[in-house]
Amino acid sequence: MTNGLDHWLKQATRHSSGDSTLQVRTEIQEHYELAREAALERGATAEAAEQEALTALGDAKAANRQYRRVLLTSAEARLLREGTWESRAVCSHRPARTLLPSLAVAALLAAAVLFRTGTAVAARLLLLAGVGMSQLFIVPFLPVYTPARSRVVRYVKLGCAGGDAATSFRP
């Protein structure tokens, strides 16, 4: 790869996620090669052909702005990873996929029953456990596959954590 193209690609993929960078590099390199070969066939020198192919790509910063609107940036990819780490942990084991969410639901149901029967301390403990487990084991089954939804899940988790803390320290 020429230095000029490498520099162009670095600018065009600035802040892009690993997958997006790979995609951009592959398609632009293919395009550049075809443009370079076409220039050589028209009789250009090797240096002129490379320059022509690079010039045809245009401003790398402008391309970067447009790519960032349609492909994942590294920040968005990190947000998705952090927002759905439970998915990878829970969904990778088939028995856990059923068992763990069931435990969360069972804890919440048991807490409701204990609240009704007046056993408040045990009910509160089960409620805390149920909410905690729900965050860990039910989120993977929600359709969280966009940065916007991932942000919502993150705020809901923070809200639940706050609620948990408030419930724990309530006299």
Partner 1 sequence: MNFKGTLPALILEALVQEPRHGYRIAQRIKERSQGVLDFKEGTLYPALHKLENQGLVESYEGAEKGRPRRYYRITRSGRAALAKDRAEWRELSRAVTMILGEA
* Residues binding partner 1 (CB under 8 A): 8, 12, 24, 26-28, 30-31, 34-35, 56-60, 62-63, 66-67, 69-71
Q: Are 124 and 112 in contact (CB under 8 A)?
A: no
Q: How far is the CB of 62 from partner 1 (least distance, A)?
A: 7
Q: How far is the CB of 70 from partner 1 (least distance, A)?
A: 4
Q: How far is the CB of 56 from partner 1 (least distance, A)?
A: 5
DSSP H or E stretch at residue 141: none
Which lies closer to partner 1 via its Cβ, residue 19 or residue 82? Answer: 19
Which lies closer to partner 1 via its Cβ, residue 30 or residue 82? Answer: 30
Which lies closer to partner 1 via its Cβ, residue 66 or residue 98? Answer: 66
Which lies closer to partner 1 via its Cβ, residue 56 or residue 156? Answer: 56
Cα distance between residue 46 and residue 54, in whole Å: 12
Q: Return the DSSP state at 169.
A: H
Q: With DSSP H G I counted as helix, E B as strand and the rest as coil, what are the percentages for the chain, rounded to 5?
A: 85, 0, 15
Amino acid at 17: S
- Is residue 12 packed enough to be buried (19+ CB in 10 Å), middle (13-18) or exposed (0-12)? buried
Q: How far is the CB of 107 from partner 1 (least distance, A)?
A: 40
Q: Which two tokens stand for residue 152?
A: 């919502």
